[in-house]
Structure formats: structure tokens, C-alpha cells
Amino acid sequence: MFFEGSEKKIEVIVTREFGSLRALGREFWKEMVACANAEILSSINNEHCDAYLLSESSLFVWDDRFLMLTCGTTTLAKAVVRFINEVGAEKIAFASYQRKNEYLSHLQSSAFTDDLTAIRALLPGDAFRIGHLDSHHHYIFTSNKPYEATADDHTSELLMYHIRGEAADYLRSEHQSAAEIRRLLQLDAMLPGFVFDDFLFEPFGYSINGIRGDRYMTIHITPQENSSYVSFETNLPLEGEYRQIFSRLLGILNPGSWDEIGFNAQRHTENYPAHLCLGSCALSMSQGYRVEFSHYQQLCHEVLIPEPM
């Protein structure tokens, strides 16, 4: 059973004149999610954020911005176009759209170039590829309107491939429970004070959102053995008590390789498994964001098995 785990991602920051995105209400976001061929499964909220768990990944809405991730064969660019048409490009202060190269790109209804054409027709901007074309790589579009990022505006992404070991075996097993997955991932210890909302898919697959104040985290797990993928994302500063989050997740899930993408994020590799950094790059934007990308491969990890076609 194959499922394309890697996400497409949009983040939009609106102007002060717009008002509050949260005031648009659940029905607005339900319709936008439907444009991406997904649906809202559940939600949690606090005084800062509404967090929606989707049939394909997640949606977070604050007063001044929203973040939406969708996986599988979803059509996130169509949701982006709908949002721009509904709100108006003049109300968008900054936007970024990301998409990773897929395992089976021919199953997708569009390529990044198609998405880029549709979005650029409404919102001018710049686009880049980060990573080797013949390996894991990501595409990023950013609007090019004048904007200045705030000092605490940072995001860290950890994208893991080909997991193995005790946790991976459990994530592929029968009779799983969401509570046991949270225990395996040590989320309560790593993220104290967060309120969580999770969902266990059939026959397997797992998603969780968490919020605490204006901070968020999300994890999405596609555990299929030949195409396993796990993503973790947060706007927590990865320092102090949170400095070891990436290394702890790498130790638990034991991926053969992984990507890190950071927007104005702290970077370090303390307590990582023995690895090689196969490539890295940095991209500085005029709006005050520095995007950093690195692709790592663990040493002595994987024995490949020929797969019949």
C-alpha cells in the first residue's frame, strides 16, 4: 500500500488592515480545505490559535496568519488560489508556498511549475529549488512585496525518510493506539504544556497537532516500509529546553535520511546519529527571512531489497 506522505505547504500573513483571520469562521476554512480535496476531522483552540486536524495533514489559523499543510495527492494550490481570490492580493503582506519532490510524482494532479503559474497569476513572487535535483529537494515560492519579518518569526521542519526500529515496527503493526504512539514519541516530555489533538488512520498512519499559547507543533507519519515518511514542524525556538527535540525524534524513529528546513531557525546537530551531510544551502530574502536547508544520511543504516515491478 503506497501513500505519498510529503506535504505541500502554504503560509500567508495578512496586513493589519485585514483584521482577524480567525473571524472568518470554521465554515470558511472548511470550504478552503475542500478545495484541496481534504476535510476537517477535528480541532482545538486557545486564545491565540485555531488548530484543525485534516484528513490530509493540518491547518493552523492565527489572527494575522495561517499555515496549511496537505499530503497525498491533494490540490493545495487550488485552495491558495481560492484564498487569494476571496481576500484579495492587496491584503496579503507575505506568502510562502513549499512543495517537496514526490516519490511518485506522476500520480499528482499538478507539478510545482503548474502550482507556481496559478499562484503567480494572482500574487507576484520569486521561486527557488533547494537541494539536489537528483535527490531530495524542495521548491519554495515567496511573494516579493515589501515586508519585514518580526524577530520571533521562525519555523523549523524535520522531514524523515525510511524509518526503522522498534517505533517504526509498532507504527506498521496492528492494534495500535494513539496514546501508545504519543508515549513512543515522548511528546509529553518534549513538549510540556501543549494541548494535543491526534488521529490514528486505518490501516495505519498518524497525525497530531499541538498548541500552547501562540506556539504550535505538528507531526504526520506515513509508516509504509518502502516509502516511510515522518514530518515534524514547529515555531518553537529550538534552544534551551527544546534544543534536543530533533535529536530525540531522530533517535526514536531512526530514519535512513532526513531534511531540515528552517526559516530564521537555530541549527545544530548535537546528539544526532552518525551521519553525513550530503548537501546544504541558505537563501536570504529581502523580507528578513533566512531559509536554510540541509539533507543528511545516516551511516550504516539501510540494506536495500530489490522490489519487483
CA gyration radius, the chain: 18
Given 6, 71, 228, 260, the catalytic residue: 71
Say how far apart CA 38 and CA 269 lie, in whole Å: 35
Known catalytic residue at 7: yes
Identify the active-site residue in 136, 162, 220, 295.
220
Taking a C-beta distance cutoff of 8 angstroms, is the pair 29, 129 a contact? no
Mark whether 148 is an active-site residue: no
Q: From the candidates 207, 231, 257, 294, which is the catalytic residue?
A: 207
Decide if 157 is catalytic. no
Residue 41: half-sphere exposure toward Cβ, Cα within 13 Å:
16
Query: E-strand spans in the chain?
Result: 8-14, 40-45, 50-54, 57-61, 65-70, 92-100, 125-131, 137-143, 155-163, 195-200, 206-212, 215-222, 229-234, 255-263, 275-284, 290-298
The active-site residue out of 6, 7, 110, 257 is: 7
| Nearest partner of 219 among 261, 249, 257, 240, judged by Cα | 249
Which residue out of 4, 11, 157, 292 is catalytically annotated? 4
Task: Confirm whether 247 is a catalytic residue.
Answer: no
260 is catalytic: no
Q: Which of 55, 57, 96, 257 is catalytic?
A: 57
Say whether 281 is catalytic. no
Q: What share of the chain is helix, strand, coil (3-state, %, to 5)?
A: 25, 40, 40
Tell me which DSSP letter residue 56 carries. T
Residues noted as catalytic: 4, 7, 57, 71, 207, 220
